[in-house]
Amino acid sequence: MLNFFRQAWKISRGFWQSEEKWSARLLAASVIALQMLNVYVMVKYNVWQNQFYSTIQELDSAKFFQLFLYWPVFTLIFLVVDVNKLYLQQMLEVRWRTWLTNHYLQAWLSKRTYYLLQILDYDTDNPDQRISEDVRLFVSYVLELSFGLFRSTLTLASFIVVLWNLSGIIDLTVGPYVLSIHGYMVWVAIIYAVAGSWLTAVVGNSLIKLNFVQQRYEADFRFSLIRLRENGEGIAFYNGEQREQANFSNRFQLIIENFQALMSGQRRLSYVTLLHWRLSFLLPYLISAPRIFEGKMQLGGLFQTATAFTQVEQSLSFFIDKFYSMNEASLAQLQAVLKRLSSFAEHIDNLHATASGNSIAITAAPGGLLGVACLDIKLPTGELLLKNLELQVQPGDRLLITGASGSGKSTLMKTLAGIWPFGQGNIHIPAGESMLFLPQKPYLPLGTLREILAYPAAADLFAEEKLCEIMIMCKLGEFIDCLNEDGNWSQILSLGEQQRIAFARAILQRPQWLFLDEATSALDEETEMAMHRLLHEQLPGATIISVGHRSTLMEYHHRTLNITEAGSWKLSA
Ligand SMILES: Nc1ncnc2c1ncn2[C@@H]1O[C@H](COP(=O)(O)OP(=O)(O)OP(=O)(O)O)[C@@H](O)[C@H]1O
């Protein structure tokens, strides 16, 4: 339990100590103040009930109508307090959620965590669900439970006093002894609630784990559906529908089996909670009966007792209901959400620890050179991919990296780009110079073709004439009319066209250093040559490092770095 609070505080701390802390504290204080007002008015209302119902027993119509006038006042206060309490709580919820979502988005995007999660195969942990769903649930559950806990404790404290005073003393005869019990109704309420709580804990215990697993199965199923959408073409070519269907069925089956276990658990739990709830209607009248028949209590007292008993029992039951309920904010739900958020944060910490356990030092140095010294590149498993690489690239140089498939050419490019952390050694990059990396499959963001061409810069940074001119150079002239059209361009454009978009981007951005990782693999030889010629003409001073298989590429490069088997390499002019 201590661990639970520690974890919850670890996630919450940031917001409550952030720049938003004063508005957050003010909102929380306002909600608490309204809750206190609500309980205070409830106690007053409870006393009023006694007087009001007693007028009926006494057949005192004048007093009845006089007391009746209080009713709209009470109703109005309850209405205003409850509605605004909810509104302020939701205001706090929105602020907290915004802050926490931004916090997780930053953690996901910073230090290329999103990419490391992918290459270290942590992507099955569904970071998207953590950020969109779990953050929302966490904030709403914590607020609902903590404000609920405060309200219940206050209600309990207030109405225990009321109920104690209404109970008086009851004498129990046990054999020859007479036992005088003070505040017996309070004891009945406590025993009743504690028994319910204990039974609920026993019966509902298994639901916590089942709930956690259920969320994960749902997310995994959703993830597999998204993969079908994203890889529709590949699957269609393979006629892979049956295999996909089998995969979906398996994942969905897990959801259903777990849900059936949840249903059985929930059914057992519902018997307990519903019986507990039903009994609570009758119980206060039953326990008041001795005092009524002894003539020590009137009709008003009976109603007042029933309300006070219900308040005591309900606020005690808050701890029960909020423990295992599956359908609303409950400790069980919160525990499951907390576990997922904490394990996400742990994964991020772990992978940063794994990444920083490696020590490829990248430093920006003056002199305009790219230098690689004593560089070992490894796989995440620690297996060596490239051994002791020594390399110097001068400004204006054109270096071609070759080697068999799987030898590590792309991984070397990723290492130079600073996104592959596994290995040791030193890389000096030229200080203050612009670098651009073009992968084999360019990333096309959602949006218009103009936005795609300008990416990652803003679309309005480049004039339309300039964009059109470069599109024509890159043999993309036929798409000029679609420049402002929104579309799923990564599905519409062929891979070759997408690669030419990447060349257009390079010419627009005019980097001093350009890295091409099989960036022309989908082009025919003639177009490939045309693209390299274009780079020569448009970026004459740029240094170019390319990865490629075709020997014709040699024409546009001065030197070759060949990666041979078992991590060795050879540099030739
Ligand atoms: N995230 C990863 N986890 C484990 N192994 C990886 C990972 N990424 C790459 N590898 C392995 O590293 C090796 C080198 O991959 P890389 O993509 O650099 O090869 P390449 O020379 O560019 O190949 P190709 O010419 O086929 O594109 C491959 O054996 C690949 O399986």
Sign of the alpha-carbon dihedral angle for 152, 155, 157, 162: negative
Q: How far is the CA of 136 from the centre of ligand 1 (A)?
A: 38
Same domain, 163 and 253: yes
Please indicate, yes or no, whether residues 283 and 164 belong to a single structural domain of this protein: yes
Residue nearest to atom 17 of ligand 1 (CA): 410
Q: Which of 125, 283, 58 is nearest to 193 (CA)?
A: 283
- 304 and 414 part of one domain: no
DSSP letter for 464, please. H
Determine if ligand 1 sits within 6 Å of the CB of residue 521.
no
Residue with tokens 């992968």: 439
Instruction: Tally the domains of the chain.
Output: 2
Ligand 1 pocket residue status of 567, Cβ below 6 Å: no
- Kind of pairing, strands 370-378 and 384-393? antiparallel
Residue found by looking up tokens 């670890």 in the block: 10
Give residue 328's pLDDT.
61
Residue 518 CA: nearest ligand 1 atom is 27
Give the C-alpha separation, 476 to 468, whole Å: 9
Predicted confidence pLDDT, tens digits, the chain (573 residues): 678 888 899 999 999 999 999 999 999 999 999 999 999 999 999 999 989 988 988 899 999 999 999 999 999 999 999 999 999 999 999 999 999 999 999 988 888 888 888 887 655 567 777 888 899 999 999 999 999 999 999 999 999 998 898 887 888 788 888 888 888 888 988 898 888 878 887 888 788 788 878 888 998 898 889 888 888 877 887 788 988 999 999 999 999 999 999 999 989 988 988 898 888 888 888 888 888 888 888 888 888 888 898 888 888 878 666 765 555 667 778 888 888 888 888 888 887 777 777 778 889 888 788 999 999 999 888 889 999 999 999 999 999 999 988 899 999 999 998 888 889 999 999 998 999 999 888 988 888 999 999 988 888 888 999 999 999 999 999 999 999 988 878 888 999 999 999 999 999 999 999 999 999 989 998 999 999 999 999 998 899 999 988 777 788 888 999 998 778 898 887
Query: 370 with 428: CB under 8 angstroms?
Result: yes
Report pLDDT for 552. 78
Closest CA to 480 of 491, 466, 492, 495: 466
The rounded Å distance from CA 412 to ligand 1 centre is 10
Report the distance separating Cα 209 and Cα 302, nearest Å: 44
Q: Is 395 in the pocket of ligand 1 (CB under 6 A)?
A: no
Indicate if 300 and 259 belong to the same structural domain: yes
Among 339, 354, 369, give the residue marking a domain's end: 354
Task: State the distance from the centre of ligand 1 to the C-alpha of 385, rounded, in angstroms.
Answer: 9
Answer yes or no: do 306 and 433 share one domain: no
Q: Taking phi first (over 0 means left), then psi (-120 to 50 degrees means alpha), and beta for anything else, what does residue 295 get?
A: left
How crowded is the C-beta side of 278, counted as CA atoms within 13 Å? 6
Residues 274 and 142 in one domain: yes
Ligand 1 neighbour 565 (Cβ under 6 A):
no
Distance CA 401, CA 409 (A): 7
Give the dihedral of Cα atoms 414, 419, 425, 429; nearest 10 deg. Answer: 80
Out of 120, 409, 419, 545, give the residue to mutate to test ligand 1, the one with the largest number of ligand atoms within 8 Å of its CB. 409
CB of 403 sitting under 6 A from ligand 1: yes
If asked whether residues 441 and 294 sit together in one domain, one would say: no
Which helix (H) or strand (E) segment holds residue 477: the answer is none
Look at residue 505 and give its three-state secondary structure: helix
Q: What percent of the residues of the chain are helix, what percent strand, and what percent coil, each to the nearest 5? A: 70, 15, 20
At residue 326, the pLDDT reads 53
425 pocket-lining for ligand 1 (C-beta < 6 Å): no
Q: Is 155 in the pocket of ligand 1 (CB under 6 A)?
A: no
Contact predicate 507/430, CB 8 Å: no
- Do 287 and 309 have their domain in common? yes
Paired sense of beta strands 543-547 and 398-403, if any: parallel
Q: What is the CATH number of the domain that holds 388?
A: 3.40.50.300
For residue 113, report the distance from its CA to the centre of ligand 1, in Å.
19
| Interacting residues of 221 by C-beta distance below 8 A, sequence separation 6+ | 248, 251, 252, 254, 255
pLDDT value of position 538:
93
Q: Read off the tokens for 163.
A: 């109920």
Pocket flag, ligand 1, residue 406 (CB < 6 Å): yes
pLDDT digits (tens, 9 = 90+) for 454-497: 988 888 888 999 999 999 999 999 999 999 988 878 888 999 99
Ligand 1, atom 6: closest residue by C-alpha: 379
- Measured from the CB, is residue 72 less than 6 Å from ligand 1? no
In this structure, are 427 and 500 located in the same domain?
Answer: yes
Answer whether 411 contacts ligand 1 (Cβ < 6 A).
yes
Q: Quick check: CB of 410 below 6 Å from ligand 1? A: yes
Greatest CA separation found in the chain? 114
Same domain for 405 and 279? no
Q: CA Rg, the chain, in Å?
A: 35
409 lines ligand 1 (CB under 6 A): yes
Å from CA of 411 to ligand 1 middle = 6
Query: Does the Cβ of 441 fall within 6 Å of ligand 1?
Result: no
The alpha-helical segments, DSSP class H, found in 231-240 are 232-237
For tokens 């576990």, what's the residue? Answer: 339
Are the C-beta atoms of residues 500 and 531 closer than 8 Å to each other? yes
CB neighbourhood size of 34 (10 A): 21
ipTM for the whole complex: 0.96
Ligand 1 centre and the CA of 567: distance in Å?
12
Is the shortest distance between the CB of 405 and ligand 1 below 6 Å?
yes
Element spanning 124, H or E: none
Last residue of a domain, one of 354, 380, 402: 354
Asked if residue 260 and residue 113 are part of one domain, the reply reads yes
Q: Whose CA is nearest to atom 26 of ligand 1?
A: 405
Q: Which of 354, 407, 518, 561 to mutate to test the pocket of ligand 1 (most atoms within 8 A of CB)?
A: 407
Pair 480, 444 in one domain:
yes
Instruction: Give the CATH number for residue 96.
Output: 1.20.1560.10
Domain boundary among 328, 354, 380: 354
Residue 443, domain extent? 361-572
Question: What is the distance in A from the centroid of ligand 1 to the CA of 408?
Answer: 6
DSSP letter (8 states) at residue 76: H
Per-residue pLDDT, 122? 57
pTM score, whole prediction: 0.74
Residue ID of nearest Cα to ligand 1 atom 2: 119
Mutation probe of ligand 1 site: the residue of 410, 441, 516 with most atoms within 8 A of C-beta: 410
CA of 415 to the centre of ligand 1 (A): 12
Which atom of ligand 1 is closest in space to residue 563's alpha carbon? 21
